[in-house]
Structure 1
Amino acid sequence: MRKLLLFSAMVVAAGLAPAATAVASTAPVAVQAGPTAQQLLAKTTSCKQVSNGKYKTDDETGRTIAVCDAGGAVFWKADMDIDCDGQPTARCNKDTDPWFQDGTAFPRSDGKALIADQTPYIVVPSVSSTWNFGNSGLKGAGSCAVIYNNKVLYAVIGDTGPNDIIGEASYAAAKALGINPDPANGGVDSGVTYICFKNSKVSPIEDHAKSTSVGEGLAAKFVQG
């Protein structure tokens, strides 16, 4: 899911100094906590479509992905493109990512943008006539389970993307799931399930341990419902 950015060029033209580079965290990202992948996927076998139409996974693909209601959550099954947006780091910056932007739709508790190679987050489509994520009980810092290759990762809603494309998550989320996190050529074409829990919030948004504990509890209620 790619977003062109002219801001970097404008900064250079204006002679402004580049933003400071954030230092990447070495803290491990927790995977496979709470219910199993099979238990969660069993709740996504049928789709009660809530999106008004379907989404593309990339610019060149057709509209094949629906957003589905599942009681206490909504879900979609798509690909994973890599979002490296947010505070620049050695892994995520305008040199490593041709589509890099230095902001995220939902900031950290200190008011700064998220750090994509530290915080596992997903990207939801910007509001459009196809779907308004807020109308489905989702919001920034909301809790989600991301499932790939029998692994479960708990992440937050951290950014918004194009209004006609779905299936994107941060560098940290991809790496934790064993997906190539390179923003230029990484990601995976299919096989990723995103389950986002309604009316949930992780605070602070950047605290992955809190994201995991909140997600575990919500996932347990979801599979029991």
Structure 2
Amino acid sequence: MRVLPLTLAAAAAAALLASAPVVLSTTSTSGSPGSPAAPAREGSVRAAELLARLGGCTAVSHGRYRSDDGTRADIPVCGTRGAVYWTADMDIDCDGRPGPLCNDRTDPLFSDSTAFQQSDGRYLSAETLPYVVVPAPSDIWNYRDHGIGPGSVAAVIYRDRVQYAVVGDVGPEDIIGEASYATAAGLGVRPDPRGGGTPSGVTYVVFKDARVSPIQDHVAAAAAGERLARKLLEGR
């Protein structure tokens, strides 16, 4: 887990949305450790149409989050029928299994662990796996109460790009707006943990009751994300 200074070939399974949590399993190796992050434009769903569909915010959090330590708490978690979402900054999470881009030399705040692990027991790789960070459960909001957990499918929107990802790490309970090195790179955001990221304009959409397994299979996450985003656009 990264504590900042108070700071997705294989096809998706057909039945992804159900009343109970759905786990999508795949035997694809495309998302295996060490594979490069997928390109930013992973499907046909456009950023503008997703944002338009989300519209205004119906808050599901009981309070608001800060984007960074010392900033005002003004970011709610919003909800729709099939997803939760928030719009914030993007801080770069480089934590997890060390690599040439994410290690204790490139990131002074580096941690070699993430809240969740791969199917082989190893920690996630921030530089190869697009993932997002959710705040630790608190009185403000508890992600578990919305069918969200390790491997939950997410769509991250920045400008005209949509990057599919999974929930891969947990951050401070009062701060929101963080994603892995690979997520930032896929969106065209500077992924350097030393001063990279962007100060605003990133929308994080996490779909309820939809997970991929194994968590490191980005191909499965991208396929699931595209399907879920399309259903969101269709009002289903």
Specify if TM > 0.5: yes
**2:148 & 2:232 partners in 1: Cα distance?**
15
Q: Which residues in structure 2 correspond to 1:116-135 (within 5 Å)?
A: 116-135=126-145
Task: Find 2:165's aligned residue among 148, 155, 170.
Answer: 155
User: Per the alignment, do residues 70 and 179 of structure 1 end up closer, same or farther by CA in structure 2, a change over 3 Å counting?
Assistant: same
Partner of 1:192: 202
User: Per the alignment, do residues 206 and 168 of structure 1 end up closer, same or farther by CA in structure 2, a change over 3 Å counting?
Assistant: same
TM-score by length of 2: 0.84
- The answer to which structure, 1 or 2, has the higher relative contact order (CA under 8 A, 6+ apart) is 2
Deviation at 1:44?
Answer: 2.0
1:87-133: CA deviation from partner (whole Å, max 9, x where unpaired): 01111111111111111111111111000000000000001110000
Q: Is the 8 A contact 1:43 1:70 kept in 2?
A: no
Matched residue SS, 1:200: strand
Matched, 1:145 2:155: yes
Matched residue SS, 2:49: helix
Percent of residue pairs bearing the same amino acid type: 51
* Unmatched 5+ stretches in structure 1: 6-22
Deviation at 1:43?
Answer: 2.1
Task: Find 1:37's aligned residue among 47, 56, 60.
Answer: 47
Q: Point out the structure with the larger helix share.
A: 1
Aligned alpha-carbon RMSD (Å): 1.7
AA aligned opposite 2:160: N
Partner of 1:174: 184
- Give the length in aligned residue pairs: 208
Matched residue SS, 1:49: coil
**1:30 & 1:188 partners in 2: Cα distance?**
16
Partner of 1:213: 223
Deviation at 1:207?
Answer: 1.1
TM-score by length of 1: 0.88
**2:38 & 2:50 partners in 1: Cα distance?**
23
